[in-house]
């Protein structure tokens, strides 16, 4: 069941960004997720909304449409932190993922 909600490629990274930034616009997610196609990002966002993990909102400062975690989405944090803590020591000198490190330090 959990993999059905969060097991698709890019989904964990979208959730990570929403934990780090509280809310993100589509364009902010595109910049952060280097290599994701616009179509795939849109589909992942729709899936996360459908599964009740994120919701569409309005950024208070700009009025732009953004996405943020729901209460259910926030419950995924221990899983994401555990995965990051497991994986980060095993990157063997590859490019470190600062966003994951920032996320696990919070």
- Predicted confidence at residue 95, as pLDDT, reads 46
Q: pTM here?
A: 0.82
Model confidence at 91: pLDDT above 70: no
- Separation between Cα atoms, residue 104 and residue 82, nearest integer Å: 9
- Separation between Cα atoms, residue 98 and residue 77, nearest integer Å: 17
What own/partner pairs with CB < 8 Å and gap ≥ 24 does 31-36 have? 32/99, 36/10
Which residue ranges form the domains of the chain, and what is each CATH number?
Answer: 2-105 (1.10.10.10)
- Predicted confidence at residue 29, as pLDDT, reads 95
Model confidence at 100: pLDDT above 80: no
pLDDT digits (tens, 9 = 90+) for 11-70: 999 999 999 888 999 999 999 898 999 999 999 999 999 999 999 998 878 889 999 999
Average pLDDT of 4-17? 83
pLDDT digits (tens, 9 = 90+) for 67-83: 999 999 999 999 888 88
Model confidence at 103: pLDDT above 70: no
């Amino acid at each position: 069941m959990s993999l059905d909600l969060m097991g698709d490629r890019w989904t964990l990274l979208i959730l990570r960004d929403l934990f780090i930034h509280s809310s993100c616009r589509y364009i902010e997610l595109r910049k952060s997720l280097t290599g994701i196609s616009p179509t795939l990002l849109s589909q992942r966002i729709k899936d996360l909304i459908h599964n009740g993990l994120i919701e569409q909102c309005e950024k208070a400062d700009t009025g732009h449409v953004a996405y943020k975690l729901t209460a259910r989405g926030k419950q995924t944090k221990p899983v994401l932190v555990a995965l990051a803590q497991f994986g980060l020591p095993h990157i063997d000198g590859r490019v470190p993922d600062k966003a994951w490190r920032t996320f696990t330090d919070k």
